Structure formats: C-alpha cells, structure tokens
Amino acid sequence: MTPQPPVGTVGATPQPPVGTVGATPQPPAGTVGATPQPPVNSVDRALRLARLLVERHRLRVHEAADALGLAPSTVHRLLTALVAHGFATRDRHHVYAVGPFLRGLAVPAPASPDLTHVAHPHLVALSRLTRETVHLVMLEGNGVRFVDGVEGGQTIRVASRTGIVLPAHLTSGGKVLLAELSAAELAGLYPRGLPLRAGAAGPDIGELRRELGNVRRRGYAVNAEETEQGVNALGACVHGPDGAALAAVVVAAPSQRVSRRALSDLAPAVLAAAARISDELS
C-alpha cells in the first residue's frame, strides 16, 4: 500500500491557510468586494422607528409595522421602550407621538386643514355667543400651540394668541388635553418635573395629577390667571372619529369681567361647541 504522508510533510499537497497566497481571500465585511449586510438589530430598528415618529408625528402600531416591514409585536415592544425612555408618548387610544427627548428634532405638526376648516365657523359662533375671544389649541410636546383664534367683540378683550406656544399644564386647553393621557404618558412629558414661566404660578406634578382627575370628571379645564395676570380661560376637548383627543376649544376673558367663579358659566357653551366640532369630524 502506498503510504499517505501526513498533511504538512514533504509529498503532501499543501493547503494554504486562509489569507495566504493561493487561498481564496475572504474580504472582511465593510471592505471593497464584501457583500454589505444591512443592520437588523434592535438598535437599528428603534432608530428607524424614532425617525418615522419624528417625520409623521403620530403613529399607531400597525402603521409603523407596515412602514418598516416589521411584525406588530416587534413594533409594539420597540414603542414601549421608546415611551419608557421619554422618546415617545402614548395616549389612551394607543396612538404614539413624539416624546420630550425627540421634540427638538421634530418639525411641529401643522393643524389638519380639515380640523381648522371644520372648527373655524364654530369658533366664530362661540365668540359671538360669549362675546369673548375663542381659540383652537393643539398639544405640542408638553406645550399647546394656538392654531386658530377669533377675537371677542368687546372693547376690553383678550388679544389673539394664534401661533404661540404656552405650557400645557398652565393653560385650560392644555390641561384638558393632558387629562386624556395615561399616568405614564404624563410622566414622560415631565421627566424633570413641571417647568414654570417667570412670574406665573403653577402646580407640582402631584397637584397637576389631582387637577387632571377633576378635569376628567367634569369634562373641562380652567386657567385662572396661570399664564397671564388678568386673563381667565376655560377649555374643552375636541375628539376625532376614533375618539382620540385632537385639540381643545378655549374661551378666554379678562378676569375683571369673568371671575374664576364665573368661568363655569361658560362651560355649557364651550362643551357644546367642542362636541359639535367632534361630531362634524366623525
């Protein structure tokens, strides 16, 4: 029998090690000639999801799953993590929005043309009925943006605030929208407590939670000179077809004419206007 020399001895067919001359080189990932492998880890998925949230402002699980090509269970898990770390918020209708740590990257979402178009005639009618200034406001992070307004017809009146942003926890419209959030979502908006504007009094987070409980029970919120001395306001929530909070209708009046105690007299008219807008959007 012809003996077979051991591999590596004279007479054996040498096997060149990988990377030496004669071996088929295997280019490392990321070099020329390598086949790029798209990242598929959880960090990449979370970043893609966060970017989508910044771009769209509001998302449901199935919408994100469809856009990213991921399983709904995976998207739900990632969104839960984003909420836990303040990168997203979730309302009681399971709609996710940009959280406080992403808010600086997000382009403010414009008010829906349908919403402002539908709401404006009701704002005009409410202003004529109350003879006070009326606004439509939307939640923007932990603030509220005044997206439309109609000034009252009286000589002494509150000026239009359209276009400005005020702290949600100090405004009547902001409070009624915050009352729609879960405890976790509310905490996500205020990871370092409540910011206060110079010269304005405001509640601590515990007091705010108690006040929001009262708001949920009566259906409206009040602002008694919390954002500006001499101005009182009352707000009620506008809901979309799916029941999600979209905006708030607010009546603002000089405190010398409408005292804190008299604010509740405005509630039926404000609640009715908000309900009519909600019905028209359905």
pLDDT, tens digit, for every residue of 138-184?
998 888 999 999 999 999 999 999 999 999 999 999 999 999 998 88
Give the mean model confidence (pLDDT) for residues 230-256: 95
For Cα atoms 47, 49, 50, give the angle at the middle one, nearest 5 degrees: 65
Within 8 A by CB and 6+ apart from 101, the residues are 85, 86, 87
Q: 30: phi > 0 → left, psi -120 to 50 → alpha, else beta; which?
A: left
pLDDT at 111 over 80: no
Residue (of 59, 107, 86, 83) closest to 190 by Cα position: 86
What's the pTM value of the predicted model, to 2 decimals?
Answer: 0.63
pLDDT at 16 over 50: no
Give the model's pLDDT for residue 149: 96
Lowest mean pLDDT among 49-53, 90-94, 192-196, 277-281: 192-196
pLDDT at 18 over 50: no
Give the model's pLDDT for residue 78: 92
CA–CA separation, 113 and 71 (whole Å): 32
Stronger pLDDT, 240 or 1, i.e. the higher one: 240
Largest CA distance in the chain: 118
